[in-house]
Structure 1
Amino acid sequence: MTELLRDIRAYLRADFKLALYALTALWVAVLIAINYTLHLENGLIDAQPLSPWRPVWYFGMYATAYYGAFWLWSQFHHRLDIWRNPRFWLHTLVALVVFSYYAGFAGYVDWAQQFSDYRLYLYAYKVFSNLHSILTIVLPLGLYYLFVDKNQSGFYGLKPKRKGLLVYLMLLGLMVPIILFASFQPDFLEAYPTYRNLTPHEALHVPEWLTAFGYELAYGWDFVPTELIFRGFLIIGLSYVLRTGSPQTENEVTTQPAYLTSPAIAQRGLARPGPVLPMIVWYATIHFGRPLGETISSLFGGYILGVLAVSTRSIWGGLFIHIGIAWLMEAAAFWQLH
């Protein structure tokens, strides 16, 4: 745990610049204000759930948020060479295209319609909506990894590591009393458990716990592609891309970012980690269809998980916390209703 905390302090010392963080906060505030004032997510994109243009709209929103924040980061860290790096463009565009397609994908509706019994259709709809990322995210990234990132060590942080395990356990433990308290609130029970009003067990003639268990496994899986893209691909994977960039001017040589010059970062083996700030700005936009408080809190949660990914070179901590909280909320709601 001490080693992990040293890594986090080293990263913060290298990355933190008051003006950069302030301008990034202003940028994300503008994005949030536009979305929640004009209702871009709910009023435009989600208004046509089956439209083939949804991935295009998502791409426009995500790319604007991400590249805007990345431009700020590159300015303050004197990494303008990044914009001349073809691998940077390829890597980030792959992430944007893949996640935009995933967000706008509606093919699982047709898959579910193969079940004529409405009880099975509704269940299949929910399960397929959580599992389609196997084809829309994991498969494309796997192909990119095999044919482009051949020399990467590990598939974007999916290699299990014990480093930071105690910290993740502590963070999840801190959430237990909060979730228990929330489970007594009416608005919590209006949203959870997400497995509700489903009766596939009646159509299949099996115990209800069996279909509920299958649903919860699919529900937990849905957090995998999010961590894989945002903490794995954009933090761990992008760090290898940044190593290929080389300063092009004398000014850039003498003013290289703290990632290259900080002794603490060099000693910890964290040189040129993928920038966390641009990642969390994009991460916030995927919450635009949810309550404002959840979008704002995603910035802080995404930053913590991003810095932990820099240190551990693994996304398992984020998965552990995300899935753990989701299942704890489901369990607390089931407990209250039964």
Structure 2
Amino acid sequence: MALEFASLLALAAGPASPANLPAQPAGPTLLETAAKALFPVVAYIALAPVLWFFFRRTWRELDVMAHEHQKKTLAEGRYDYRPAVLFVITALVLTLQEYYGGRDFYERHIRPALRDLEIDGVTWVNLRRYNELYGYGWWAFTRVFGYIGVPMIVWKIVFRKDSLLDMGLRIRGFLKHAWIYLLCLAVVLPAVVIVSRAPDFGTYYPFYKLSSRSWFDLMVWEAMYFAQFFALEVFFRGFWLSGLRTTLGSGAIFAMCVPYCMIHYGKPYLEAAGAVVAGIALGSLAMRTKSIYSGFLVHVTVALLMDLLALSHRNALPTSFWGG
């Protein structure tokens, strides 16, 4: 608004000239841009020995298991269809989400249907107040159904003998590995606090921009946000690794990092680049604990903190439950 007002004053003063043109904000220098672009490479090199130290035994166990499985499969003259089915499901799910799980589809198809319900007197529909929240509800639904519903249904039809609980969904033994969850938080949370001071952080989070209107808005948003994180963990750390570990061994973890990084495109650069390390660490953790729950808890804890820090830095935390 201030820049627009300055432009109007300049026009009123007379023809544009270097003296009365509004000053353009200085952008990062080439050196600063290069440093930001190359920082993930330095971080990968620095973190590689740490990841190797913590997970080398898990990676080797996966490779041995995959070797034995492949040797047995070849000896029996069989073919393992799991990688083919999994990659096709992944391509289909991510493509459907890209084209039908976003705001455009919601505005063209879901919003008109909600408007008809509102006209018919359905009391829980209030487009004027909650249209943006409904849009994110559609986004969360497509993630949950796409990441859990589609792969689980198709997998059970094709591989009837496989137990879906083996996709990291068993709770047994979770407390035994709780210390790993706490260790991850001890490493990640200070970094989140530091990154939260970045200029683009406060304007990017939370995704739902009306979260500051009321605690109700914030709580409903976080519930949907958490649900899609759970679905994401089931898909990438459960479905993906369970389906590929007997074929690719530890390579399944690194293969999973490719689509996992790509779904972060559009977010801040360092967050997308950090998804590679997060994918390796969370994937290795899921294989070590045979559970997705530690990764899920790390994800939602960090996500909640990021939203709260962003709101706090803008002095925009809700002040009432329902809002005005």
Same fold (TM over 0.5): yes
Cα–Cα, structure 1 residues 7 and 311, in superposed 2: closer, same or farther, change >3 Å?
Answer: farther
Report if aligned partners of 2:97, 2:146 keep a CA contact under 8 Å in 1.
yes
Give the superposition deviation at 1:232.
Answer: 0.9
Match of 1:179 among 172, 192, 204: 192
Secondary structure of the 1:132 match is helix
Q: Residues 97-141 of structure 1: CA distance to partner in whole angstroms, max 9, x if unpaired?
A: 223222332444422344443332122112221222233332212
- Is residue 2:191 matched to residue 1:144? no
Report if aligned partners of 1:235, 1:274 keep a CA contact under 8 Å in 2.
no
Inter-partner Cα distance in structure 1 for 2:89 and 2:170: 22
Match of 2:225 among 181, 195, 219: 219
Inter-partner Cα distance in structure 1 for 2:71 and 2:268: 36
1:111 partner amino acid: I
Secondary structure of the 2:209 match is coil
- Is residue 2:100 matched to residue 1:105? yes
TM-score in terms of structure 1 length: 0.60
Q: Residues 39-64 of structure 1: CA distance to partner in whole angstroms, max 9, x if unpaired?
A: xxxxxxxxxxxxxxxxxxxxxxxxxx
Secondary structure of the 2:185 match is helix
Cα–Cα, structure 1 residues 198 and 296, in superposed 2: closer, same or farther, change >3 Å?
Answer: closer
1:133 partner amino acid: R
In structure 1, stretches of 5+ residues that fail to align are 17-72, 202-207, 243-258, 260-271
2:207 partner amino acid: T
Cα–Cα, structure 1 residues 163 and 221, in superposed 2: closer, same or farther, change >3 Å?
Answer: same
Aligned length: 240
Q: Residues 218-244 of structure 1: CA distance to partner in whole angstroms, max 9, x if unpaired?
A: 01222223222211111123335x3xx
Q: Residues 239-264 of structure 1: CA distance to partner in whole angstroms, max 9, x if unpaired?
A: 35x3xxxxxxxxxxxxxxxx9xxxxx
Partner of 1:124: 134
Inter-partner Cα distance in structure 1 for 2:255 and 2:138: 30
- Paired residues for 1:290-301 under 5 Å: 290-301=267-278
Cα–Cα, structure 1 residues 277 and 184, in superposed 2: closer, same or farther, change >3 Å?
Answer: closer
Secondary structure of the 1:324 match is helix
Report if aligned partners of 1:277, 1:303 keep a CA contact under 8 Å in 2.
yes
Inter-partner Cα distance in structure 2 for 1:215 and 1:83: 47
Inter-partner Cα distance in structure 1 for 2:54 and 2:200: 39
In structure 2, stretches of 5+ residues that fail to align are 1-51, 116-126, 318-324
Inter-partner Cα distance in structure 1 for 2:146 and 2:61: 35
- Paired residues for 1:10-159 under 5 Å: 10-13=57-60, 85-106=80-101, 107-109=105-107, 110-116=109-115, 117-153=127-163, 154=165, 156-159=167-170
Cα–Cα, structure 1 residues 211 and 155, in superposed 2: closer, same or farther, change >3 Å?
Answer: farther
Q: Which moved more, 1:78-87 or 1:297-306?
A: 78-87
- Is residue 2:191 matched to residue 1:196? no
Name the larger-Rg structure: 2
Inter-partner Cα distance in structure 2 for 1:133 and 1:102: 7
1:164 partner amino acid: H
Partner of 1:21: none
Inter-partner Cα distance in structure 2 for 1:12 and 1:96: 26
Give the superposition deviation at 1:215.
Answer: 1.2
2:149 partner amino acid: L
Report if aligned partners of 2:241, 2:253 keep a CA contact under 8 Å in 1.
yes
Match of 1:168 among 164, 177, 181: 181
Give the superposition deviation at 1:13.
Answer: 4.8
Secondary structure of the 2:187 match is helix
Cα–Cα, structure 1 residues 118 and 335, in superposed 2: closer, same or farther, change >3 Å?
Answer: same
Report if aligned partners of 1:284, 1:298 keep a CA contact under 8 Å in 2.
yes
Report if aligned partners of 1:108, 1:132 keep a CA contact under 8 Å in 2.
no
Report if aligned partners of 1:7, 1:311 keep a CA contact under 8 Å in 2.
no
Give the superposition deviation at 1:304.
Answer: 0.9
RMSD, matched Cα: 3.5
Cα–Cα, structure 1 residues 108 and 167, in superposed 2: closer, same or farther, change >3 Å?
Answer: same
1:195 partner amino acid: Y
Cα–Cα, structure 1 residues 198 and 306, in superposed 2: closer, same or farther, change >3 Å?
Answer: closer
Secondary structure of the 2:175 match is coil
Partner of 1:238: 244
Q: Residues 54-88 of structure 1: CA distance to partner in whole angstroms, max 9, x if unpaired?
A: xxxxxxxxxxxxxxxxxxx99xx999979953333
Inter-partner Cα distance in structure 2 for 1:280 and 1:195: 26
Q: Residues 186-222 of structure 1: CA distance to partner in whole angstroms, max 9, x if unpaired?
A: 32211123332468x7xxxxxx212321111101222
Give the superposition deviation at 1:328.
Answer: 0.9
2:206 partner amino acid: P
Inter-partner Cα distance in structure 2 for 1:229 and 1:326: 18
2:205 partner amino acid: Y
